[in-house]
């Protein structure tokens, strides 16, 4: 029998006419209701800690094959953010990428992803032995017994590793993972640019609404808003709603540091971006004939160096914080107010 989610949290109504009305990025806007005393937006410092790592920018790179490799990890570390190496490769290849990034000492900001079945124990041990201290249990559905069991195993295996789990889209699922030892939890399902879970399964919760749900029940685990971030404003909204960190994919996939080559089409530059559950990524992971495909494959415009993308997102966030008279993310969340646009 499957273990129920935390019983003390009220499950949402099952009848459609009684279901809550969810809101997405474009349905809400931030409102400043305090006179700001910040002389300049540079006086806002959105620092956050993830385990032993202090980040100047609350951004994580999604562990996708076309988003985060060694070069991306190095560039993000230099910018004060965090890269997470993807798991769609052999154990030896992922460990080699960890070393290639020049981060084998475990002192710089880098993480690595593992699954929750197959070789995940071997992969976890190899990455930790290499010096990795931020490990992401990377799954589409974080509210699963296999994820819970993997979390318990990893926590018992090493107590000096920061465990990131997910993805989830409800308060119940967030609390369930928190109970099983997750240090940070990815919140957001089916909102990504190359995710087809929404069209293939009918499962979708807007990330802002899911983050707000998680924030109401969170006791200690960090909230990682993950899915659908297109612009700096989306980052600001997730952080204002309760996210400690925000994970981005498509915003970084078009940069020069993302894996893959630049493609010229009609005189314009592009790069390939594939969803984690796309046909070619599953083939890359060793599944010759995937039983399901919930990820798209597309091209994204080339954006140049990742430093420019991070600088834009950081500038937008700092400006938003200055509107709210907030020098820290804690003050930002305390001072911000919202209006519904529709």
Cα–Cα distance for residue pair 14/11, rounded to 1 Å: 9
Helix ranges (DSSP H) in the chain: 70-79, 91-100, 120-130, 145-157, 171-179, 197-201, 207-217, 232-241, 250-253, 279-284, 306-323, 329-335
Q: Tokens in use for 127?
A: 């990455």
Cα–Cα distance for residue pair 331/8, rounded to 1 Å: 30
> In this structure, are residues 85 and 104 in contact, taking their beta carbons and an 8 Å threshold?
no
Q: Tokens in use for 187?
A: 């919140």
Cα–Cα distance for residue pair 79/322, rounded to 1 Å: 21
DSSP annotation of 110 reads E
Q: Tokens in use for 131?
A: 């010096």
Look up 236 and say whether it is catalytic.
no
Spatial CB neighbours of 247, under 8 Å, sequence gap ≥ 6 = 59, 60, 61, 62, 186, 188, 224, 225, 226, 227, 229
Options 73, 136, 195, 236, the catalytic residue: 195
Q: What is the 3-state secondary structure (H, E, C) of 190-258?
A: CCCCCECHHHHHCCCECHHHHHHHHHHHCCCCEEEEECCCCCHHHHHHHHHHCCCEEEECHHHHCECCC
Residues with catalytic roles: 195
């Amino acid at each position: 029998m499957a273990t129920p989610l935390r019983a003390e949290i009220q499950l949402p109504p099952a009848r459609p006419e009684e279901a809550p009305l969810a809101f997405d990025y474009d349905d809400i806007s931030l409102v400043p209701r305090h006179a700001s005393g910040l002389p300049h937006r540079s006086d806002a410092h959105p620092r956050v800690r993830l385990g032993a790592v202090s980040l100047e920018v609350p951004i994580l790179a999604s562990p996708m094959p076309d988003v985060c490799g060694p070069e991306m990890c190095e560039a993000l570390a230099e910018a004060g953010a965090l890269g997470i190496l993807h798991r769609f490769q052999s154990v030896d290849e992922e460990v080699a990428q960890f070393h290639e990034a020049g981060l084998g000492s475990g002192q710089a900001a880098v993480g690595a992803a593992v699954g929750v079945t197959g070789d995940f124990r071997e992969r976890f041990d190899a990455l930790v032995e290499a010096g990795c201290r931020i490990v992401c249990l990377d799954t589409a559905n974080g509210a699963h017994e296999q994820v819970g069991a993997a979390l318990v195993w990893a926590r018992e295996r090493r107590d000096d590793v920061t465990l990131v789990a997910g993805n989830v889209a409800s308060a119940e699922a967030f609390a369930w993972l928190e109970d099983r030892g997750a240090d940070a939890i990815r919140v957001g399902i089916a909102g990504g640019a190359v995710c087809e879970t929404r069209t293939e399964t009918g499962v979708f919760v807007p990330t802002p609404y899911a983050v707000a749900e998680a924030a109401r029940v969170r006791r200690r685990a960090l909230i990682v808003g993950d899915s659908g971030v297109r612009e700096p404003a989306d980052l600001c909204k997730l952080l204002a709603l309760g996210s400690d960190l925000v994970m981005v994919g498509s915003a970084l996939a078009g940069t020069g540091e993302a894996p893959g080559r630049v493609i010229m089409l009609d005189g314009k530059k592009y790069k390939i971006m594939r969803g984690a559950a796309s046909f070619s990524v599953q083939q890359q992971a060793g599944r010759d004939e995937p039983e399901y495909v919930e990820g798209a494959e597309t091209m994204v415009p080339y954006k140049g160096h990742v430093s420019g993308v991070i600088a834009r997102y950081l500038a937008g966030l700092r400006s938003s914080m200055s509107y709210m008279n907030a020098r820290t993310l804690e003050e930002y969340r305390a001072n911000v107010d919202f209006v519904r646009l529709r």
